[in-house]
Chain A
Amino acid sequence: MKQISVGIDIGSTATKAVLLINGTITEHVIIPSGWDPKQAGRNAYDALLEKGQRVEQQVQTVVATGYGRITLPFADRRVTEVTCHARGAEHMVTGSRLVIDIGGQDSKVIALDGFGHVTDFIMNDKCAAGTGRFLQVMAGVLDITLDELGELALISQPATISSMCTVFAESEVIGLLARGAEKGAIAAGVIDSIGKRLPTLVGRMPNSEYITFTGGLASNPAICKRIEQNLNIPLRVPEFPQLAGAIGAALIGSDITTKKQLAQGTQL
């Protein structure tokens, strides 16, 4: 009997879904979360099933994670993104001891035991500073996309952006533009202001030779490079950094299926 599980990660910006068949990721989808996390979860699930040519009845376990996890009525289990990101990171970068995840509305640093289990974690979730949302707002001020922000930042000397608060940083950027600062310098400065905040979180966690970097921002090589420079610790970016949470959720789903099948005495 095939083991089929789905992990759905409803983040503040994007909703990610992963189809796991016998331990292998066979399909994934990424859609914008929009204003309705419940609907986003449903849409991602439907799109995933269609892409994977499966029907709902074939899926044994659905695990939801992300801030929208509570709203998903058809989930068999809800697991926090801390646990799911750790598990997903371990799946993609085996033996990870430290994970940085920068999401839309928070950033977190997770310490692992080397086998995908969380031993400690620390989060910044009180304020937009140091999150994906911060970069989005700043890209908006510069009238460019997030990808362009990263590319521009590669070629420039960073301007200093000292405000801790997104709203004030926005005024600061507008001020810099008014004084004729280069767009690329501002872009680099914006990314550095995230990078400079991370060591205060990382410094509170155990040391590690490298850090596995997950979350939507990690798909942007320029951002990764600047953050790596700020942290002075090598980053490992998995193939699908944005999917770490959904992959972790799907893996936990498959554990649940195994347990259920064992309990029922079903042959695997």
Chain B
Amino acid sequence: MNSSAFQQLESLRENNVIALKEAKEAGHHIVGMYCLYSPAELIVAAGASPVMLCGTSQKPIPIAEQSLPRNLCPLIKSSYGFAATDTCPFFYFSDFIVAETTCDGKKKMYELMEEFKPVHLLQLPQIQDKETALNYWLSELNLLKEKLEQTFNVEITEQKLRDAIELLNDERRSLKALQDVCKHKPAPISGIEMLTVLHNRGFALDKRATIQRVDQLTSELNERVKKGISTLSSAAPRILLTGVPVGLGSEKVVRIIEESGGQVVCFESCGAYKKVEPVQQSDTPLRDIAQCYLSIPCSCMSPNTNRYDLVANLAREFQVDGVIDLTWQGCHTYNIESFSLRKHMQQEVNLPFLQIETDYSESDSEQLKLRLEAFLELLADR
């Protein structure tokens, strides 16, 4: 894409490895995270930098399979493989890792990961609308707060938490505004380009600078919309991609959709639209944070009706033609939930729905192409 803001964001991951090394040498603290449930506000309030860790590449999976079952989810195998092979610079520079008991595969994998790096495991409740669950989650966040305070020898004050909430809410605002440019028909940016930005921004150390760059890209894209400039065809079926986390390295389904003439205009995934709801300030800052994170509509929650509503609303707002639900092999929660989501989508928005179950490897590309092309033909035929 011909945009300096985009190019900066595109090379952000590489550039940040250097920044990371320098920051570390200057005595800065780094805390690694894998999941959207990691409350980054606490890490920021402790004066450390939260960074996303690698887990979207096929490359370290064969090594991971020496310890983990082959039929496990590729995201878990990849995350573990990067740690085991010490090939993720962000993992390497992390003082410790914050992790959660989201799914069975992850929580058992984290036990093994302890061999390479200290892991602070947050016990995540799996129901969202009970006061007991919120209180439990709040006590877990308190434990993380103590851990951060002890490890980095700092005090996390209410004011520091409020400042962190403000900063990260601004990040959410900026990410939402960026994604919302695709509500326009045709969208001014491809799904792969959008994913590149959403993926890379997680590796940034300087949050303020990244927010600024994302805002710059958003205003450039809005400018293009105004001028009617888009490199994309207005006839391309518009796709909402929901389900498991996707990133660069695990983007094959997005790539095939777009190579086959479709366009992913909305990602209802962890680094994307699941991340845009701000922390509402109404109680103590820690409780506000707990409330916000507990509301994330991940399939590890039961029930997870917020996700059905979110997907249906996004389908309307982004004027999509079809919904594709991506499930990683071995992800039981998303896999089972697909059945109910399909039903909900048919009843609420009457949209064609396709579930794709795959892993990070290229072994099934031809079969995927057939399914995705057939789905796009179905959409074009409507």
Contacts and interface: CB of A to CB of B under 8 A. Distances in A.
Interface of A: 67, 79-83, 106, 117-121, 123, 125-126
Contacts of A83: 374, 377-378, 381
A216 to B, nearest CB: 18
B149 interface: no
Interface in B337-382: 352-353, 364, 366-367, 370-371, 373-374, 377-378, 381-382
A67 B366 contact: yes
Given A123-B367, A125-B367, A126-B364, 9 more contacts: A80-B370, A82-B374, A82-B377, A82-B378, A83-B374, A83-B377, A118-B378, A119-B378, A123-B371
24 contacts: A79-B377, A80-B370, A80-B374, A81-B370, A81-B374, A82-B370, A82-B371, A82-B377, A82-B378, A83-B374, A83-B378, A83-B381, A106-B367, A117-B381, A118-B374, A118-B381, A119-B352, A119-B378, A120-B352, A120-B353, A121-B378, A123-B371, A125-B367, A125-B370
Nearest to B357: A126
Contacts of B382: 117
Contacts, number: 42
A126 B370 CA distance: 12
User: Considering residues B352, B367, B374, B377, which has the most beta carbons from chain A within 10 angstroms of its beta carbon?
Assistant: B374
A233 B302 CA distance: 36
B367 A126 contact: yes
A119 B352 CA distance: 7
Contacts of A117: 378, 381-382
Contacts of B364: 125-126
A81 B378 CA distance: 12
Contacts of A81: 370, 374
Nearest to B374: A82
Interface in B134-187: none
A121 B366 contact: no
B10 to A, nearest CB: 30
A126 B378 CA distance: 22
Contacts of B381: 83, 117-118
Nearest to A252: B377
Given A119-B352, A123-B371, A80 B366 contact: no
B103 to A, nearest CB: 22
Contact of A118 (B353, B366, B377): B377
A129 to B, nearest CB: 14
Nearest to B382: A117
User: Considering residues B352, B377, B382, which has the most beta carbons from chain A within 10 angstroms of its beta carbon?
Assistant: B377
Nearest to B372: A80
Nearest to B329: A126
B377 A80 contact: yes
A106 B373 CA distance: 16
B359 to A, nearest CB: 11
A198 to B, nearest CB: 18
Nearest to A206: B346
A121 B371 CA distance: 9
Contacts of B374: 80-83, 118, 121
A81 B382 CA distance: 18
A57 B378 CA distance: 31
B370 A67 contact: yes
Contacts of A82: 370-371, 374, 377-378
A100 to B, nearest CB: 15
Nearest to A105: B367
B370 to A, nearest CB: 6
User: Considering residues A79, A82, A106, A119, which has the most beta carbons from chain B within 10 angstroms of its beta carbon?
Assistant: A82
Q: Which 6 A-B pairs have the closest CB atoms?
A: A82-B374, A80-B374, A125-B367, A83-B377, A118-B378, A80-B373
A83 B382 CA distance: 12
Interface in B228-261: none
